[in-house]
């Protein structure tokens, strides 16, 4: 079996999952949509985190600015060393900052840093830690703080400044904002720092991620359900069309898919059914036509627009002419109906033998048969095939005689004939094979001297007492083993030929 035949025999159930078009289509578009959803999720997450971070930074910055504006120069002046924690200024700041921490749950500490004069070095004037951070001790008044590694803090002495990334230190993970404390002369005498709890930021990120992921998941589920529906909607008509095409290829031309749809598949199904109907009609015509002419001739005529064109081609063929011996006597004893029935039965047997050897029956002439080997298509070894066909026809006639005798239906017995006989003539030569006739009626025929010689050889059997004769033109083309089975009957004059025809009997 060729690859083409193997593919033709396969059905959709034989295809691997990835080999099915609707699966690839669904996966392809699903992958594109999922990729778009994934990108959208990333964008939503990044943008959501950015907006949320800006919101937190805004609140921290606003808190730091508001507190910085409430800190007075005289309060800072009173808080120089650790013992100054007992001063009223310390209590004032503590009460104010405690209220802010109580109102802003994300704020974990508020402090006031005073520059020492050395770049990046500060001291604490005040430090308040939220009760939730009770495990962390606040810095003491006057305690030194090195801010040289924190550019945001240093910038906070000049203007409002809020960190863009979470910082990790002894105070934990925080996001800090700084605002300057300005005295009446416009000097920046200190800064207020506000530390926000990074856990709130992490929670915010998780919330944004969960929202974006949930949206993507819902979209993926909808996509999956849609893909399943679309895949099934595509799979059904494709399966019907494939199975229908496979049935047509297998010869079941009455197959119809009958797709009741109002889309492209419905149109395709309608066209498929119209095509199948046309093929069925054409096959019925060819099959019926093939009963009037040979199947090979019918195929050639129906093969294309030139199949029925008038004219022919020169071909070398082997012509076989067969005739029943004593047919006229037998037909006298039968009614016309019985004669037709008898002939049909006999010709059916001979037709089967000739077809089996590659011969093409050109026509039935009453009880006579004109067959050709090598037309309309090429046939290798056609002389040998014709001779072996004649021998097989003789054997088949013997079986036919026995059956007719056993059934009591042998009309030749009434005339004292032992069996029905036949004479066969065979000749190889050039003929013109093609369509012969008029504009209104055409027949496939073989024209040429080779046909006449085969007919004369058939008639020569009566004079020689033989039943199969072939000419030397045929004998010369036979294989040696078959040549040895034939007997040379010499040269004989035949009507229409100036030279004698050498014949061999089988």
**369-420, pLDDT tens digit by residue?**
999 999 888 899 999 999 999 999 999 999 998 898 888 877 776 666 777 8
What are φ and ψ of residue 456, in 5° steps? -65, -35
Question: What would the CATH number be for the domain defined by 62-197?
Answer: 3.30.450.20
pLDDT at 308: 52
Contact 284, 271 (CB under 8 A): no
Residue 66: count other Cβ atoms within 10 Å of its Cβ: 13
In the chain, domain spans: 62-197, 253-292, 306-505
Give the other-Cβ count within 10 Å of 302's Cβ: 15
pLDDT per position as a tens digit, 241-295: 778 878 888 878 888 888 877 777 778 888 888 888 887 777 776 665 555 555 5
- Residue 144, φ and ψ in degrees, nearest 5: -75, 150
Look up residue 132 and give its DSSP letter.
G
pLDDT value at position 87?
A: 93
**Candidates 3.30.70.1230, 3.40.50.970, 3.40.1280.10, 3.90.1150.10; correct CATH number of 306-505?**
3.30.70.1230
User: What is the spatial distance between Cα 494 and Cα 506, in angstroms, rounded to a whole number?
Assistant: 19
Q: Is the peptide bond before 376 cis (omega within 30 degrees of 0)?
A: yes
- CA dist 196 and 162 (Å) reads 11
Q: What was the pLDDT predicted at 252?
A: 83
User: What is the pLDDT at residue 205?
Assistant: 72
CA distance 246 to 239: 10
Tokens of residue 8, six digits: 């033709």
Ranges of the chain with pLDDT below 50: 1-5, 7-9, 307
Backbone angles phi, psi at 418, to 5 degrees: -70, -35
């Amino acid at each position: 079996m060729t690859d083409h035949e193997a593919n033709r025999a396969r059905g959709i159930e034989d295809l691997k999952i990835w080999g099915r078009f609707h699966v690839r289509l669904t996966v392809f578009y699903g992958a594109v949509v999922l990729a778009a959803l994934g990108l959208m999720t990333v964008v939503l997450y990044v943008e959501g985190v950015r907006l949320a971070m800006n919101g937190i930074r805004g609140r921290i910055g606003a808190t730091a600015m508001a507190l910085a504006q409430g800190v007075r120069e005289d309060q800072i002046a009173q808080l120089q060393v650790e013992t100054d924690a007992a001063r009223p200024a310390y209590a004032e700041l503590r009460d104010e900052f405690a209220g802010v921490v109580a109102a802003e749950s994300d704020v974990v500490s508020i402090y006031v840093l005073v520059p020492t004069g050395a770049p990046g070095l500060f001291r604490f004037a005040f430090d308040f830690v939220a009760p939730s951070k009770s495990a962390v001790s606040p810095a003491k008044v006057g305690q030194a703080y090195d801010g040289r590694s924190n550019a945001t803090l240093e910038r906070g002495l000049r203007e409002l400044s809020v960190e863009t990334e979470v910082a990790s230190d002894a105070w934990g993970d925080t996001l800090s904002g700084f605002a300057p404390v300005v005295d009446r002369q416009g000097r920046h005498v200190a800064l207020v720092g506000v530390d926000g709890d990074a856990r709130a930021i992490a929670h915010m990120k998780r919330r944004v991620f969960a929202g974006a992921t949930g949206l993507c998941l819902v979209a993926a589920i909808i996509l999956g359900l849609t893909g399943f529906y679309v895949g099934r909607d595509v799979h059904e008509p494709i399966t019907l069309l494939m199975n229908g095409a496979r049935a047509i290829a297998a010869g079941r031309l009455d197959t119809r898919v009958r797709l009741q749809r109002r889309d492209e598949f419905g149109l395709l199904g309608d066209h498929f059914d119209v095509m199948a109907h046309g093929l069925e009609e054409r096959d019925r015509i060819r099959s019926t036509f093939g009963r009037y002419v040979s199947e090979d001739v019918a195929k050639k005529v129906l093969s294309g627009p030139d199949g029925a064109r008038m004219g022919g081609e020169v071909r070398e063929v082997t012509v076989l002419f067969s005739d029943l011996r004593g047919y006229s006597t037998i037909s006298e004893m039968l009614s016309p109906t019985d004669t037709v029935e008898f002939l049909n039965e006999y010709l059916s047997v001979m037709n089967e033998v000739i077809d089996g050897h590659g011969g093409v029956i050109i026509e039935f002439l009453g009880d006579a048969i004109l067959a050709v080997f090598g037309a309309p298509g090429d046939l290798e070894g056609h002389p040998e095939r014709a001779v072996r066909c004649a021998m097989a026809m003789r054997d088949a006639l013997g079986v036919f005689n026995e059956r007719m005798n056993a059934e009591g239906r042998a009309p030749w017995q009434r005339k004292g004939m032992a069996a029905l006989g036949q004479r066969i003539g065979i000749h190889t030569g050039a003929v013109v094979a093609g369509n012969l006739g008029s504009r209104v009626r055409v027949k496939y025929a073989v024209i040429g001297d080779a046909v006449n010689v085969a007919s004369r050889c058939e008639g020569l059997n009566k004079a020689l007492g033989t039943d199969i004769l072939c000419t030397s033109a045929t004998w010369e083309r036979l294989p040696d083993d078959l040549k040895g089975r034939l007997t040379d009957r010499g040269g004989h004059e035949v009507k229409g030929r100036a030279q004698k025809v050498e014949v061999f009997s089988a």
